Amino acid sequence: MTRRLLLGCSAVGNALVERTREERGGRDDLVAITDDTGWASTLRDRNVATVEADPTDPGTYPDAAAVVLIASDDPDRNVAAARAARERYPDAMIVAHLGTAPTDEQRAAVAAVADRVVDPVAAVAGRVFEAVGLDRGRGADTDAEFARTDDGEDERPARLLAALRRLSGPLLVVAHDNPDPDAIASAIGLARVAESIGVDADACYGGEIAHQENRAMVNLLDIDLRSFDGVDLDAYDGIALVDHSRAGINDSLPEGHPIEVVVDHHPPRGPVAGSFVDIRPGIGATSTLIAEYLSRYGIEPERDLATALLYGIRIDTKDFTRATATDDFEAAAALLAHADESTLERVESPSVSPETLRVLAAAIENRDVRGSVAASCVGEIVDRDALAQAADRLLDLEGVTATFVYGYMDGVIYGSARARGADLDAGELLRDALDPVGSAGGHAVMAGAQVPLGILSEVPESESLSDVVEAFVAGRFFEALDDAPAQPTGFPPEFPTD
């Protein structure tokens, strides 16, 4: 199958061919169609499969193409080629060079059918290269294993648009339950991508937004995020998951519900299903991936969206001090030009609730330190997000490199773990300790757990529920700690996708 089709040639097309061959180690999957004899000869001299024919005639096109590049210097021919390519390959990603001195009418005509329009000014070839996702030097190689097609070709932008175009109705973008800033920003960002190609999309979440900073973010940025309780799944033709990867696992969807799109940065712990799956554990935030897509599609984020994505990156990387990749810095730098810094300051400095202060005080008072690990039961809570804040703050204790803070509310025990400079893997530790009796997971440096109280809530009057919960959870936690898994030295192996 032809993966990339070049229609017409010029200095732009020529530079693109050179860069493609360099980055792909000499592997060729490019077919060029041009009726310019000079360019046809040049391309053939480089062993590029070249058809000397009219690039605006679909009768000369191959049966299939994933990415179509329009690269003539003639604006009229580029318009004709773009229209013909869109009709022939409705699911392909089309990146069109405008040509020399295009009129406003020609610009509009190309923009109507192309996914990305490239202006013939500076760095054209580099921008085209970036737009179609060929910049293989960015990010960790292992991350790409989660997002490649079966034949190993990295074409995330084209495949995402193809998956969205196949929908015959609106898309529902689902954040994980009780979403954090990264999940919230990623949900509205992916909805923005879908809407850019005419696909209606709604972003939603289950649970509640309890953390004061998260509430401030939603309110100050006027974020349109629906509660899952009011969602009719039958009204949507497709479901997308952001910041998590499996339906019914930490979201309000039925377990195993069909999924079209998955975008996440957490390592999966089982098979991930979807027409399009982009999971990159080496990246610090899902917001980074969404920002990358916006950039590659040429979508300038509105101020509120840019501010939300920037905040999502900063929170998940703990201001670029935790699990941060070069991509996170680059995305943040690009978003900063569009973000509202004054609103960001207000989001980051909300008033602290009395509950958060109480949980933090209880976590410090009740801490059980064994070696460099501190665990603390804070009893009954009314705001589960306070646990994460307390776990973060306990890391400031001298000699402590890993923390676990837990409490209970509404018949469920919730826990939050953090690690910094530790040898153990916090996510695997919680899975070993609590997944058998509930659910647990996360990263090596940041993890969470939920366990139903069940019969633990039936305590005699002579005992306190808090003591029973502490004995149960601490027992399992420290038992697992004795045989705790170390943090991985590389990225996790690829899990199968359906």
Domain co-membership, 170 together with 264: yes
Which of 248 and 19 is assigned the larger pLDDT? 248
Looking at the fold, whether 56 and 123 belong to one and the same domain comes out as: yes
Residues 6+ apart with CB under 8 A from 386: 211, 353, 355, 356, 358, 359, 360
- Shared-domain flag, residues 277 and 327: yes
Mean pLDDT, residues 364-368: 95
| 267-293 residue pLDDT tens | 887 788 899 999 998 899 999 999 999
Question: In percent, how much of the chain has pLDDT > 70?
Answer: 86
- Indicate whether 126 pLDDT > 80: no
- 122, 154: one domain: no
b vs e for 177-196, b when ≥16 Cβ sit within 10 Å of the residue's Cβ? bbbbbbbbbbbbbbbbbbeb
Check residue 460 and give its pLDDT: 75
The helix/strand count (H/E) of the chain reads as 17, 18
Instruction: Identify whether 486 is part of a domain.
Output: no
Q: Rounded to an integer, what distance in angstroms lies between the CA atom of residue 279 and that of residue 160?
A: 13
Residue in 295, 14, 284, 264 with CA at minimum distance from that of residue 135: 295
**202 pLDDT higher than 80:** yes
Q: Are residues 293 and 171 in the same domain?
A: yes
pLDDT of residue 144: 41
- Indicate whether 129 pLDDT > 70: no
Q: What pLDDT, on a 0 to 100 scale, did the predictor assign at position 363?
A: 96
CA 328 – CA 497 distance, rounded (Å): 26
Indicate the range of 11-15, 253-257, 323-327, 452-456 predicted with least confidence: 11-15
Last residue of a domain, one of 348, 382, 409: 348
Is the same domain home to 208 and 320?
A: yes
Q: Is 489 exposed, middle or buried (0-12, 13-18, 19+ CB in 10 A)?
A: exposed
Q: What pTM does this model have?
A: 0.62
Write the pLDDT tens digit of every residue in 14-51: 877 776 666 555 556 789 999 999 888 888 888 889 99
Domain that holds residue 452: 354-481
Question: Over the stretch 380-399, which tens digit does the pLDDT of each residue have?
Answer: 999 888 898 899 889 889 89
Q: Is residue 396 part of a domain?
A: yes
**Same domain, yes or no: 111 and 76:** yes
Burial of 211 (0-12, 13-18, 19+ CB in 10 A): buried
User: What are the tokens at 358?
Assistant: 């109480």
Give dist(CA 360, CA 345) in Å, integer.
23
Q: Which has more pLDDT, 313 or 483?
A: 313
Q: What is the predicted pLDDT for the residue at 20? A: 63
Residues 100 and 231 in one domain: no
Residue 11 domain flag:
yes
> Same domain, yes or no, for 230 and 373?
no
**Sign of the torsion angle spanned by Cα atoms 165, 116, 245, 209:** negative
Residue 222 located in a structural domain: yes
Looking at the domain assignment, is residue 273 inside a domain?
A: yes
Judge whether 487 lies within some domain: no
pLDDT of residue 80: 95
Lowest mean pLDDT of 66-70, 232-236, 444-448, name the range: 444-448
Sorting pLDDT into bands at 50, 70 and 90, what band is 490?
Answer: very low
State the CB neighbour count (10 A cutoff) for residue 222: 7
The CATH number of residue 175's host domain is 3.90.1640.10
Q: Does residue 492 surpass a pLDDT of 50?
A: no
- pLDDT, tens digit, for every residue of 394-436? 988 989 999 999 999 999 999 999 988 767 888 889 989 998 9
Which of 112, 131, 150 is where one domain is finished?
A: 131
State the pLDDT at residue 454. 86
| Of the candidate ranges 30-44, 183-197, 219-233, 413-427, the one whose mean pLDDT is the lowest | 413-427
Q: Are residues 315 and 336 in the same domain?
A: yes
Sign of CA dihedral 405, 438, 188, 130: positive
The mean pLDDT of the chain is 84
107 has a pLDDT exceeding 70: yes
Check residue 143 and give its pLDDT.
Answer: 45
Q: Where are the alpha helices (DSSP H) in 89-226?
A: 104-113, 124-131, 141-144, 156-165, 181-196, 212-220
145 plus 116 within the same structural domain: no
Burial of 319 (0-12, 13-18, 19+ CB in 10 A): exposed
Comparing 217 with 25, the larger pLDDT belongs to 217
Q: How many domains does the chain have?
A: 3
**448 within a domain of the structure (yes/no):** yes
Alpha-carbon span 12 to 411, nearest angstrom:
62
Q: Does 225 lie in the same domain as 113?
A: no
In the chain, % helix, strand, coil (3-state, to 5) comes to 40, 20, 40
End residue of a domain, out of 348, 365, 394: 348
Residue 493 falls inside a structural domain: no
